[in-house]
């Protein structure tokens, strides 16, 4: 196997690290952390997600997720609502106070995408996205 293939996973992981670093640097003046921003972003896409599902999606332990949600509740950015179908479970919902933070997350996301993709043409971006989807599908089928 060539060095190029050997380095594929490293390049993907390193790109992920750089993306996180980009966000951390641009959110450093914000009252929320990167972990909190990730949770807010996910809840905005999947409003009413169960707490355990959110922990799984963000790849963090349930106890860590509970603390993170405690912090977001203290900031009045999310609320936990008992699941009507399972009284042991909680669903997570955004509060109106989360909107400005989500707008900032979206702004930083757009800035990151612009910087990251600025050297690629639209066809290259489309091809790259299709390739990433295939790579992800290959791993999901394991």
Residues 5-61: tens digit of each pLDDT: 668 889 889 999 999 999 889 888 888 888 999 999 999 999 999 999 999 999 999
The CATH class of the 3-140 domain is mainly alpha
Question: Is the per-residue pLDDT at 3 higher than 70?
Answer: no
pLDDT digits (tens, 9 = 90+) for 82-131: 999 998 999 999 999 999 999 999 999 999 999 989 999 999 999 999 99
Report d(CA 24, CA 32) in Å as an integer.
10
30, 46, 65, 81 from 123: Cα distances, Å:
35, 30, 39, 44
pTM for the full model? 0.80
- Cα 17 to Cα 36: distance, rounded to the nearest angstrom: 17
Any idea where the domains of the chain sit in the sequence?
3-140
- Cβ atoms of 62 and 52 closer than 8 Å: yes
């Amino acid at each position: 196997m060539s060095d190029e293939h050997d380095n594929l996973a490293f390049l993907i992981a390193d790109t992920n690290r750089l993306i996180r670093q980009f966000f951390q640097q641009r959110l450093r003046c914000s009252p929320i952390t990167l972990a909190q921003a990730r949770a807010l972003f996910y809840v905005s896409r999947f409003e009413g997600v169960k707490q355990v599902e959110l922990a799984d999606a963000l790849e963090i332990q349930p106890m860590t997720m509970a603390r993170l949600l405690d912090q977001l509740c203290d900031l009045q950015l999310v609320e936990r609502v008992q699941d009507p179908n399972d009284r042991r479970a909680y669903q997570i919902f955004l509060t109106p106070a989360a909107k400005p933070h989500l707008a900032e997350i979206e702004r930083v996301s757009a800035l990151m995408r612009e910087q990251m993709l600025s050297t690629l043409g639209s066809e290259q971006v489309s091809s790259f996205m299709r390739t990433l989807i295939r790579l992800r599908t290959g791993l999901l089928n394991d």
